[in-house]
Structure 1
């Protein structure tokens, strides 16, 4: 478990993280989102003991990172895939890390196989690795100590679609074992597919948090009937707001029971009645972080 309690980090007069509190639970993949400069990476650096907090506290497995007896065997982290010794081979990088944390040498081969780096690739110098290969090596390092918690900042950078699909399965499997995953990514669709819960940060403060399903749920229900146009008229006469039309379906700002009663009174057979779908994570992200936007409409969203 990761527990962030009123965490604040200031650099002189600039507040990078401003009184942030949240929990990333075991058995859950938690997405940590926000625009560039929102404070995500700073918060993750505080969690993993690389940056001291100005105030507040970050606890992993109930302790501060520096108080864990062997942190790398309890918390695996990947904050910057480029921060690897480029003159060493991938195997050497992992072997030295295994020695440092007291992990069995057999874990090196296990992790290389797990992340899809072949024996030939493991013998190459890291300077000759693509970004995707460095990401895989970084993930192998994060998993080397068989940790209970993973803290990952943009782990999908440089991965091709097949690699992203593989990463999704890896993280969901890790969480499925009752472990904790905190994932920062600018690939919003992928977070929507992978994360069970979402924490969104803007200007150093949390702007939204909750389960992915709840945050992305639409307002009201979607309904259709044997005569959808007449259903729409009946709903409006009943004082219910029809907020959208999509083909033969209506989006109604009302409960399923209210819509059902109106249809019954109008002697209409409902052919569809389900919770409305939200606009998706990208739209929610744009709306909640609009004040942090660095570009104009049409520019790429980054986190």
Structure 2
């Protein structure tokens, strides 16, 4: 289990992480989401002992990372796929890891096969690897010691669709066997597919956390109308939150209330139902709206 308690990290006057607390449980994939600069990578660096905390604490299995004997056999870490010795081959990197952890050399071939790096590719220098190949090598290195816990920062960067599907299956299987996974990603759909628990961070603070079902449960009503702009304006005037959702609207109210508003305005509806889920992207944009660099058009404002 990973436990983060009241973690704070400051750099001069900048507070990168501000009183962050969460746990990652065995048997679950925990998705760690947030805009660029939100504090995800800093938190992961503190957990893995690479950056000292200003205040608070972060432990793995009840101890600090630095106090874990032969940590590669307990915790698999991939924070930056590009931070691998460019002059060495993939096989050499894995061989050094195996030697460091006291593992048999057969483990190297097992990991190369697991991440689908061919014998020819394994003999190429890392500087000639694509980003996707570096990600696969990094994941192989993280899994080398058969750890119980995985900490991965943006592991899907550079992977093609088949590679993303492979990684998703690998992590799901790992968690189903009782492993603990902390996964940071900007690929929101992938987090929505694989994560059991979700943590959303913005400006260094946790803005939401819970199971995926809990966070996506307050979906409100999905509605498609002949005049969506008029319905959006009427719902907004009634004090309701209105968001675009596919080719319709998601309104944070019961279907009956939305139906009443449409009837009062004489609007024709093509579809009206309780939303199955807000969708991770909508939830993410809502919760981190004050920390986004880019302005996202508001359906509520543009519906009139």
Q: TM-score, normalised by structure 1?
A: 0.81
Counterpart CA distance in 1 for 2:153 and 2:272 is 40
Are 2:292 and 1:293 aligned?
yes
* Residue 183 (structure 1) aligns with: 183
CA distance in 2 between partners of 1:296 and 1:252 (Å): 21
| Unaligned segments of structure 2, at least 5 residues | 224-239, 257-270, 298-304
Q: How far apart are the structure 1 equivalents of 2:277 and 2:28?
A: 22
Aligned residues: 269
Match of residue 45 from structure 1? 45
For the 8 Å contact 1:218–1:277, the answer to whether it is kept is no
Q: In 2, Cα distance between the equivalents of 1:252 and 1:159?
A: 36
Report the CA distance between 1:255 and its aligned residue.
9.8
Which structure 2 residues correspond to residues 110-149 of structure 1 after superposition, within 5 A?
Answer: 110-149=110-149
The answer to whether the 8 A contact 1:46-1:53 is kept is: yes
| Mean CA deviation greater in 61-70 or 164-173 | 61-70
CA contact (8 A) 1:5 1:21 kept: yes
With normalisation by structure 2, the TM-score equals 0.81
RMSD, matched Cα: 2.9
Shift of 1:296: 2.9
1:275 to partner: Cα distance: 5.4
| Structure 1: gaps of 5 or more residues | 224-240, 257-271, 299-303
Kept in 1: contact 2:2–2:58 (CA 8 A) = yes
Matched, 1:78 2:63: no
Stretches (4+) displaced over 3 A: 218-223, 243-247, 250-256, 272-275
Partner of 1:153: 153
Task: After TM superposition, give the deviation of residue 13 of structure 1 in Å.
Answer: 1.1
What is aligned with 1:279?
278
Q: Could you tell me which residue of structure 2 aligns to residue 213 of structure 1? A: 213
Alignment correspondent of 1:173: 173
Equivalent position of 1:12 in the other structure: 12
Residue 253 of structure 1, CA deviation: 4.2
Deviation at 1:279, TM superposition (A): 2.6
d(CA) in 2 for partners of 1:273, 1:197: 29
Contact 2:255–2:272 (Cα < 8 Å) also in 1: no
Tell me how far apart the structure 2 counterparts of residues 118 and 167 of structure 1 sit (CA, whole Å). Answer: 17
2:28 touches 2:181 (CA, 8 Å); kept in 1? yes
- 2:231 match: none
Q: Which residue of 1 aligns with 2:54?
A: 54
C-alpha separation in 1, matches of 2:127 and 2:121 = 12
